Amino acid sequence: MTAQRTVVLGSTSSYRRSLLERLRIPFETASPQVTEERLPGETPQALAERLARAKAAEVAARYPDALVIGSDQSAGVGDRILGKPGSHERAAEQLAALSGQSVVFHTGMCLIDTASGREWVTVVPYTVHMRELDPDEIERYLRLDRPYDCSGSFKSEGLGVSLFRAMEGDDPSALVGLPLIRLCAWLREAGVHLPPEIR
Protein backbone atom coordinates (compact mmCIF):
# COMPACT_ATOMS: atom_id res chain seq x y z
CA MET A 1 0.00 0.00 0.00
CA THR A 2 1.43 3.40 -0.94
CA ALA A 3 1.52 6.35 1.46
CA GLN A 4 -1.32 8.78 0.95
CA ARG A 5 -0.16 12.08 -0.51
CA THR A 6 -1.57 15.29 0.93
CA VAL A 7 -3.92 16.86 -1.62
CA VAL A 8 -4.74 20.54 -1.30
CA LEU A 9 -7.45 22.35 -3.23
CA GLY A 10 -6.39 25.95 -3.61
CA SER A 11 -9.91 27.31 -3.72
CA THR A 12 -12.74 28.37 -1.43
CA SER A 13 -15.36 27.59 -4.09
CA SER A 14 -18.11 25.31 -2.80
CA TYR A 15 -18.64 24.10 -6.39
CA ARG A 16 -15.01 22.96 -6.77
CA ARG A 17 -14.98 21.40 -3.32
CA SER A 18 -18.11 19.41 -4.17
CA LEU A 19 -16.56 18.20 -7.42
CA LEU A 20 -13.33 17.06 -5.76
CA GLU A 21 -15.33 15.22 -3.08
CA ARG A 22 -16.64 12.97 -5.87
CA LEU A 23 -13.18 11.35 -6.09
CA ARG A 24 -13.45 10.13 -2.46
CA ILE A 25 -9.91 11.07 -1.53
CA PRO A 26 -9.04 13.13 1.55
CA PHE A 27 -8.04 16.72 0.82
CA GLU A 28 -7.55 20.07 2.46
CA THR A 29 -8.64 23.47 1.19
CA ALA A 30 -6.66 26.69 1.23
CA SER A 31 -7.57 30.18 0.09
CA PRO A 32 -5.21 31.51 -2.60
CA GLN A 33 -4.24 35.17 -2.18
CA VAL A 34 -4.30 36.15 -5.85
CA THR A 35 -5.63 39.26 -7.59
CA GLU A 36 -8.04 38.19 -10.32
CA GLU A 37 -7.93 41.25 -12.59
CA ARG A 38 -7.71 40.72 -16.33
CA LEU A 39 -4.58 42.01 -18.04
CA PRO A 40 -4.96 44.36 -21.05
CA GLY A 41 -5.71 42.34 -24.19
CA GLU A 42 -5.78 39.04 -22.30
CA THR A 43 -8.02 36.38 -23.86
CA PRO A 44 -10.47 34.38 -21.72
CA GLN A 45 -8.29 31.27 -22.21
CA ALA A 46 -5.06 33.04 -21.24
CA LEU A 47 -6.73 34.59 -18.18
CA ALA A 48 -7.98 31.20 -16.93
CA GLU A 49 -4.57 29.58 -17.39
CA ARG A 50 -2.62 32.42 -15.75
CA LEU A 51 -4.88 32.57 -12.69
CA ALA A 52 -4.98 28.78 -12.25
CA ARG A 53 -1.17 28.69 -12.20
CA ALA A 54 -0.94 31.69 -9.90
CA LYS A 55 -3.42 30.20 -7.40
CA ALA A 56 -1.67 26.83 -7.35
CA ALA A 57 1.76 28.45 -6.95
CA GLU A 58 0.64 30.76 -4.15
CA VAL A 59 -0.84 27.90 -2.13
CA ALA A 60 2.03 25.52 -3.00
CA ALA A 61 4.48 27.85 -1.26
CA ARG A 62 2.79 26.92 2.04
CA TYR A 63 2.95 23.12 1.56
CA PRO A 64 6.43 21.55 1.15
CA ASP A 65 5.15 18.03 0.39
CA ALA A 66 1.72 18.07 -1.23
CA LEU A 67 -0.24 17.94 -4.45
CA VAL A 68 -1.76 21.40 -4.86
CA ILE A 69 -4.63 22.08 -7.24
CA GLY A 70 -5.37 25.56 -8.57
CA SER A 71 -8.25 26.35 -10.89
CA ASP A 72 -9.90 29.36 -12.45
CA GLN A 73 -12.64 29.79 -15.00
CA SER A 74 -13.54 32.52 -17.44
CA ALA A 75 -16.66 32.56 -19.57
CA GLY A 76 -16.57 34.35 -22.87
CA VAL A 77 -18.51 35.20 -25.98
CA GLY A 78 -15.68 35.80 -28.41
CA ASP A 79 -13.08 37.85 -26.51
CA ARG A 80 -15.72 39.41 -24.25
CA ILE A 81 -15.45 37.97 -20.73
CA LEU A 82 -18.59 37.49 -18.68
CA GLY A 83 -18.24 38.32 -15.02
CA LYS A 84 -20.25 37.12 -12.06
CA PRO A 85 -23.38 39.28 -11.99
CA GLY A 86 -23.62 39.78 -8.24
CA SER A 87 -27.20 41.05 -8.42
CA HIS A 88 -30.58 40.12 -9.86
CA GLU A 89 -30.62 43.10 -12.22
CA ARG A 90 -27.19 42.41 -13.69
CA ALA A 91 -27.99 38.71 -14.05
CA ALA A 92 -31.17 39.54 -16.00
CA GLU A 93 -29.18 41.84 -18.28
CA GLN A 94 -26.52 39.19 -18.82
CA LEU A 95 -29.00 36.44 -19.69
CA ALA A 96 -30.88 38.73 -22.06
CA ALA A 97 -27.60 39.48 -23.86
CA LEU A 98 -26.77 35.75 -24.02
CA SER A 99 -30.12 34.74 -25.52
CA GLY A 100 -29.41 32.64 -28.63
CA GLN A 101 -25.63 32.94 -28.14
CA SER A 102 -22.89 30.37 -27.55
CA VAL A 103 -20.81 30.80 -24.41
CA VAL A 104 -17.39 29.15 -24.08
CA PHE A 105 -16.24 28.38 -20.54
CA HIS A 106 -12.46 28.13 -20.28
CA THR A 107 -11.46 26.27 -17.14
CA GLY A 108 -7.79 26.58 -16.30
CA MET A 109 -6.30 24.00 -13.96
CA CYS A 110 -2.83 23.55 -12.52
CA LEU A 111 -1.46 20.75 -10.34
CA ILE A 112 1.86 21.24 -8.55
CA ASP A 113 3.74 18.44 -6.83
CA THR A 114 5.64 20.50 -4.29
CA ALA A 115 7.92 17.58 -3.36
CA SER A 116 9.27 17.12 -6.89
CA GLY A 117 8.51 20.53 -8.40
CA ARG A 118 6.58 18.93 -11.24
CA GLU A 119 3.75 21.00 -12.65
CA TRP A 120 0.81 20.13 -14.88
CA VAL A 121 -1.33 22.83 -16.50
CA THR A 122 -4.22 22.89 -18.97
CA VAL A 123 -7.25 24.85 -20.10
CA VAL A 124 -10.35 22.78 -20.81
CA PRO A 125 -13.07 24.45 -22.92
CA TYR A 126 -16.76 23.70 -22.66
CA THR A 127 -19.44 25.37 -24.78
CA VAL A 128 -23.01 26.10 -23.81
CA HIS A 129 -25.41 26.99 -26.63
CA MET A 130 -28.21 29.12 -25.22
CA ARG A 131 -31.70 28.99 -26.66
CA GLU A 132 -33.74 32.13 -27.32
CA LEU A 133 -34.93 33.43 -23.94
CA ASP A 134 -37.83 35.76 -23.24
CA PRO A 135 -37.88 38.17 -20.26
CA ASP A 136 -40.49 36.15 -18.34
CA GLU A 137 -38.40 32.97 -18.57
CA ILE A 138 -35.30 34.84 -17.40
CA GLU A 139 -37.17 36.32 -14.44
CA ARG A 140 -38.63 32.97 -13.38
CA TYR A 141 -35.28 31.24 -13.70
CA LEU A 142 -33.37 33.82 -11.68
CA ARG A 143 -35.88 33.80 -8.83
CA LEU A 144 -35.67 30.00 -8.59
CA ASP A 145 -31.92 29.34 -9.04
CA ARG A 146 -30.41 32.69 -7.85
CA PRO A 147 -27.14 32.20 -9.80
CA TYR A 148 -25.67 35.56 -8.81
CA ASP A 149 -22.23 34.11 -8.01
CA CYS A 150 -21.93 32.29 -11.36
CA SER A 151 -20.31 33.56 -14.55
CA GLY A 152 -22.95 33.65 -17.26
CA SER A 153 -25.75 33.97 -14.68
CA PHE A 154 -26.78 30.31 -14.66
CA LYS A 155 -26.06 27.08 -12.80
CA SER A 156 -25.58 24.25 -15.25
CA GLU A 157 -25.90 21.69 -12.44
CA GLY A 158 -29.25 23.24 -11.45
CA LEU A 159 -32.21 24.65 -13.33
CA GLY A 160 -29.87 26.48 -15.69
CA VAL A 161 -29.99 23.48 -18.01
CA SER A 162 -33.53 24.55 -18.94
CA LEU A 163 -32.01 27.59 -20.69
CA PHE A 164 -29.76 25.54 -22.98
CA ARG A 165 -30.19 24.39 -26.55
CA ALA A 166 -27.10 22.15 -26.40
CA MET A 167 -23.87 21.52 -24.51
CA GLU A 168 -20.57 20.66 -26.16
CA GLY A 169 -17.30 19.49 -24.66
CA ASP A 170 -15.16 16.59 -23.44
CA ASP A 171 -15.73 16.94 -19.70
CA PRO A 172 -18.96 18.29 -18.19
CA SER A 173 -17.27 18.76 -14.80
CA ALA A 174 -15.13 21.47 -16.44
CA LEU A 175 -18.26 23.56 -16.86
CA VAL A 176 -18.85 23.53 -13.10
CA GLY A 177 -15.25 24.58 -12.46
CA LEU A 178 -12.88 21.60 -12.08
CA PRO A 179 -12.12 19.21 -15.00
CA LEU A 180 -12.14 15.91 -13.16
CA ILE A 181 -11.21 13.67 -16.10
CA ARG A 182 -7.91 15.50 -16.62
CA LEU A 183 -7.33 15.89 -12.89
CA CYS A 184 -7.74 12.13 -12.32
CA ALA A 185 -5.11 11.42 -14.97
CA TRP A 186 -2.68 13.85 -13.34
CA LEU A 187 -3.27 12.53 -9.83
CA ARG A 188 -2.64 8.98 -11.02
CA GLU A 189 0.65 10.14 -12.59
CA ALA A 190 1.54 11.67 -9.22
CA GLY A 191 0.95 8.34 -7.47
CA VAL A 192 -2.60 8.72 -6.18
CA HIS A 193 -4.76 5.60 -6.58
CA LEU A 194 -8.01 6.39 -8.38
CA PRO A 195 -10.44 4.87 -7.69
CA PRO A 196 -8.99 5.08 -4.17
CA GLU A 197 -8.00 2.10 -2.08
CA ILE A 198 -10.72 0.69 0.17
CA ARG A 199 -9.74 1.08 3.81
197 found inside a domain: no
pLDDT tens string 83-131:
889 999 999 999 999 999 999 999 999 999 999 999 999 999 999 999 9
Range of the domain at 126: 7-189
Q: How confident is the model at residue 157 (pLDDT cuts 50, 70, 90)?
A: confident
CATH number at residue 122: 3.90.950.10
- Has residue 71 been placed in a domain? yes
Catalytic status, residue 170: no
Residue 196 is assigned to a structural domain of this protein: no
This prediction has a pTM of 0.91
The reported pLDDT for the residue numbered 1 is 36
Instruction: List pLDDT tens digits, range 14-39.
Output: 999 999 999 999 999 999 999 988 99
Count of domains for the chain: 1
- Residue 75 domain flag: yes
Catalytic residue among 65, 72, 113, 171: 72
Q: What 3 state SS string does the chain have? A: CCCCCCEEECCCCHHHHHHHHCCCCCCEECCCCCCCCCCCCCCHHHHHHHHHHHHHHHHHCCCCCCEEEEEEEEEEECCEEECCCCCHHHHHHHHHHHCCCEEEEEEEEEEEECCCCCEEEEEEEEEEEECCCCHHHHHHHHHHHCCCCCCCCCCCCCHHHHHEEEEEECCHHHHHCCCHHHHHHHHHHCCCCCCCCCC
